[in-house]
Amino acid sequence: MTAERELRQLVARAGQVLAALGLVDYLGHASARVPGTDRVVVKPKHSPTVRSTAGLGPERMIIVDLDGRLLEGGPGGTDRPPAEVFIHTEIYRARPDVGCVVHTHQRSATLAGVLGLPIEPVLHVPATFLDRTPPTWPNPVLVDTPELGRALAGALGGERFCHLQGHGIVSVGEGVREATVGAAMLEQLAEAALTAASTGTRPRVISPHEIATLRGQVAGVEGRWAYFCQLAGIEEAA
Ligand SMILES: [Zn+2]
């Protein structure tokens, strides 16, 4: 399988996983950069025929360049890039280390961003995904221009996650599995942060030293990706 074909499949599966976890509906999108190129595989803009990401297979993914211009529009060539394609393209420009960008409006992480509530490493498995509480980009508008995409990429900096305050989050990673599982891990920690805040009790935060130990103990993303694929009804998780 070519890299691009494999990435079409992975990006489609990311959408299916995110939908199964309730992190996206018809909005929200994952993308992947085809290594060594300026080509980006991304979910198309929603339309009467592009509905829940749960129902979109690899053949429905589209290809854009780093200016967000459509290169391949899917079957019939009629699908269009998401309005917020610049979230993806400008992060790829700013971060050569990033191969996948996931953007969601996932409820708990978004609400934590609205409240300015720190998302902290309080649960042992997802803690391994969090180096620091995610930075916040205080802007709820659609990221529908390259300028806004650059501003968001600047707020993200070298981090794994960023709040789009009042809007959603981005999760980035070297690969599709990492960025997608990362979004799920962030949501678990955000749920914990919100619940802890409602009790008024300060949670016990896992220390950087303990996180380093945990990183050597817990499995990588592959097992969690396979589990989430199973939840999404995907037969072959490889
Ligand atoms: Zn959005």
Q: 111 C-alpha vs ligand 1 centroid, how far in Å?
A: 14
β-sheet bridge partners, residue 72: 63
Q: What is the pLDDT of residue 1?
A: 63
CA 207 / ligand 1 centre spacing (Å): 32
Our CA angle for 161, 166, 169, nearest 5°, is: 20
> Is 118 a domain residue?
yes
Expressed in angstroms and rounded, the spacing between residue 101 Cα and the centre of ligand 1 is 12
134, 75 contact by CB (below 8 A) = no
- Residue 106 CA to ligand 1 center (angstroms) comes to 10
Q: How far is the CA of 167 from the centre of ligand 1 (A)?
A: 6
Nearest to 108 by CA among 33, 192, 31, 208: 192
Q: From ligand 1's centre to the CA of 45, what distance in Å?
A: 11
- In a domain, residue 237? The reply is no
Nearest one of 205, 212, 188 to 128, comparing CA atoms: 212
* Residues 197 and 191 sit within 8 Å (Cβ to Cβ): no
First-to-last alpha carbon distance for the chain, in angstroms, is 12
Is 87 a domain residue? yes
- Cα 184–Cα 11–Cα 108 angle in degrees, nearest 5: 25
The Cα–Cα gap between 143 and 57 comes to 25
Mean pLDDT, each 10-residue run in order, the chain (238 residues): 90 96 92 96 85 85 96 83 96 98 98 97 96 95 98 98 98 98 98 96 96 94 94 76
CATH number at residue 19: 3.40.225.10
Q: Please count the structural domains in the chain.
A: 1
Distance 13 CA to ligand 1 centre (A): 19
Distance (Å) from CA 195 to ligand 1 centroid:
25
Domain-located, residue 236: no
**What stretch of H or E contains 55?**
none
CA torsion angle for 204, 209, 214, 215 (degrees, to 10)?
130
Calculate how far, in angstroms, residue 120's C-alpha sits from the geometric centre of ligand 1.
23
Closest of 98, 91, 104, 65 to residue 153, by C-alpha: 91
Q: Which domain range does residue 222 map to?
A: 3-231
190 falls within a domain: yes
Facing residues of 170 across strands? 103, 162
Residue 238 inside a domain? The answer is no
Query: Interhelix angle for 176-199 vs 221-231, to 10°?
Result: 80
